[in-house]
Amino acid sequence: MITPRIEIDLEKIAHNAKALIELYGSKGIGVIGVTKAVRGNPRIAGTLVKSGITTLADSRIENIKRMRGAGVQAQFLLSRAPALSQIEAVVKYADISLNTELSVIESLSAQAIESDKIHKIILMLELGDLREGLMPSDLDNVVAQVIKMEGVSLAGIGTNLACFGGVIPDDEKMGRLSAMAIDIENKYGIELEYVSGGNSANYNWYTSTLDVGRINNLRLGESLYLGCETVSRKPIPGLHTDAMTLVAEVLESKLKPSLPYGTIAQDAFGHIPEFVDQGEIRRAILGIGLQDVQVSGLTPRANIEIIGASSDHLIINASDLDLVVGDELEFDLNYAALLSAMSSRFVNKVSSDRVNAHEYCEKVEHNYRKHMQLLPGISIKDDHTPLLNLNKSGFNLMFEPSSQKDYQFMVREAVFEKIGRISKQLDLEDKTLWLRSAWRSFDHQRLLWQERVAQLQQDYPNKELQEIEDLVSHFIAPPNKSMHATGGAVDALIYDLKHNAIMRFGTNDGFKITLNDKCYPYHPYITPEAKNNRKLLIRLFEVEGFVVDLKEYWHFDYGNISWAMHKGKDHAIYGMLEA
């Protein structure tokens, strides 16, 4: 699967949203879901809405436009003061905005009148954090002018704390906001829809206060995604803190000194680096860097030490781990790291939108065990059709280099014809079928088995042979049990002629495939691009009557006992062909 990536557990986010709605709702406080840290991700936004959050807030109008375009059904709040240069877009895409400047509100009024809309205004008050906000002494004058304007409606007042100055929301601050809300309502005979007390930092105030006053709304982001309050970053009881996982891949793993040697000057970012002498260490480099994420906000889940980072590399001390190239490591993120990684186009975003990955893999394993138990009971009535050579077919195909000398891509006659039709279909899309393997002799299969065993013994020198063979059997069949020996099995990917590359399917780098559970065809933790590419590949073969393997998205069967099992046939038409 492509790295680096953020794996997003939508079920955990949904749990957090429902728990927070219930928690704050017990004292009459509603929740707005803030999507800026996840860059308006439509799947996350949709999850929040399905969980009961009806208003979503984002600081970027581009993110609100993205969510609207994806069909997210919610009321949208622009949570950053509108720029005069974006007034038209604000009125078009946002239902509400936070405001502090009369000139901006006047422009919103004019645009809303022109657009035949009513745009809601929440006036933000400065209560000490010194980010945005009217001074309290100016509130009365601004309210008096706003309520006279056409095209806009005063929906509420609010404040923001603990974001810039680190000022804590407490009874004094919330009491002051409540008092101002009551004064406005009494003086002008209006009822404010929103008295918005702040954000995820308000948790400690909320749980300790005896009276929330007129505070009836909070704008929550970090507690939804990371499960913590933001004054001390302590987990909120009952919430998931691991809904977001950053995954990075090992690019290099070597024994090296812990101290750089030579004359030391500035690093790439103008700092003079300092290091602790730990002697020789297992120094690994991961494929992620400061261009992708705020590294200081990462916490590794494995027993490793982050030494430092450059633009494109994260350097770690992995002396307690037997890391090899291609291994993946997981990290928790704080808010700053989440914000930067979700904003980076170099970090893939993968969401579990249907089913938890662990549950899916367990289901696949269960079905596979059942499948293997029942296979011997399938009878075979071989039709004795010959093997034909796809290398000489004249079809528009590409062939992966094989470790077997002079390997020929041989398949049964019916499979040969089906591959031809698939090839013609791909011609229409400027793509080509990339064939990885077809018929294999028992000797060829035995060679593959032995090569994989040898490789894993080298990668994991401390594992017993039986452990190694168990790992190998997870993806490679024993020599006399491979469906490839029937001539009815084909391994294939798709080559995109426009981009001059093999398409991305989630675990491949070109034709090199990393074998892990994300090879299971419908694994939820792969990118949308990989899902679409797998969908195309599988559909091409299924239309021709093939079945995709339970564990390998690139493996397709026709006519053999695995095919008969999937299709509910009473017999297979292809048996083993040893030579």
pLDDT of residue 552: 94
How many CB atoms sit inside 10 A of residue 290's CB? 18
φ/ψ of 387, rounded to 5, equals: -85, 135
Q: Which amino acid is at 172?
A: E
Give residue-wise pLDDT tens across range 121-144. Answer: 999 999 999 999 999 999 999 999
> CB–CB of 398/431 below 8 Å?
no
Of the candidates 137, 133, 48, the residue with the CA atom closest to the CA atom of residue 99: 133
CATH of segment(s) 10-226: 3.20.20.10
Report the run of H or E that residue 7 belongs to, with start and end.
strand 5-8
pLDDT over threshold 80, residue 481: no
> CB–CB of 181/19 below 8 Å?
no
pLDDT band at 238 (very low <50, low <70, confident <90, very high): very high
Mean pLDDT of 475-500: 87
pLDDT of residue 353: 58
DSSP E strands: which ranges in 390-455? Answer: 397-399, 410-412, 431-437
Report the run of H or E that residue 315 belongs to, with start and end.
strand 314-317
**Neighbour-count burial for 221-255, b at 16+ CB within 10 Å, e otherwise:** bbbbbbbbbbbeeeebeebbbebbbbbbbbbebee
Average pLDDT, the chain: 93
pLDDT over threshold 90, residue 449: no
pLDDT of residue 404: 78
Residue 171 CB burial class (10 angstroms; 0-12, 13-18, ≥19): middle
Mean pLDDT of 103-113: 98
Gap between the Cα atoms of 76 and 579, Å rounded = 66
pLDDT over threshold 80, residue 572: yes
pLDDT of residue 356: 67
pLDDT band at 390 (very low <50, low <70, confident <90, very high): very high
pLDDT over threshold 80, residue 163: yes
Specify the higher pLDDT residue, 241 or 464.
241
pLDDT over threshold 80, residue 217: yes
pLDDT cut 90: percent of the chain above it: 77
pLDDT over threshold 90, residue 270: no
Q: Is 244-263+274-351 assigned to CATH 2.40.37.10? A: yes
Every domain of the chain and the residues it spans: 10-226, 244-263+274-351, 357-440+482-572
pLDDT over threshold 60, residue 382: yes
Distance between alpha carbon 161 and the CA centroid of its chain, in Å?
Answer: 30
pLDDT of residue 468: 75
pLDDT of residue 230: 96
Mean pLDDT of 90-100: 98
> CB–CB of 475/519 below 8 Å?
yes
pLDDT band at 384 (very low <50, low <70, confident <90, very high): very high
Identical topology for domains 10-226 and 357-440+482-572: no
SS3 461: coil
pLDDT of residue 500: 95
Catalytic residue status for 36: yes
pLDDT cut 70: percent of the chain above it: 97
Give residue-wise pLDDT tens across range 509-525. Answer: 999 888 888 999 999 88
Candidate list 12, 36, 173, 431, residue with the active-site label: 36
pLDDT of residue 474: 66
How many CB atoms sit inside 10 A of residue 273's CB? 12
The full DSSP string for 253-272 is: EEEEESS--S-----TTS--
pLDDT of residue 355: 54
pLDDT over threshold 60, residue 314: yes
pLDDT over threshold 60, residue 428: yes
pLDDT band at 358 (very low <50, low <70, confident <90, very high): confident
Mean pLDDT of 21-48: 97
CATH of segment(s) 357-440+482-572: 3.30.1380.10
Give residue-wise pLDDT tens across range 537-550. Answer: 999 999 999 999 99
pLDDT band at 472 (very low <50, low <70, confident <90, very high): low
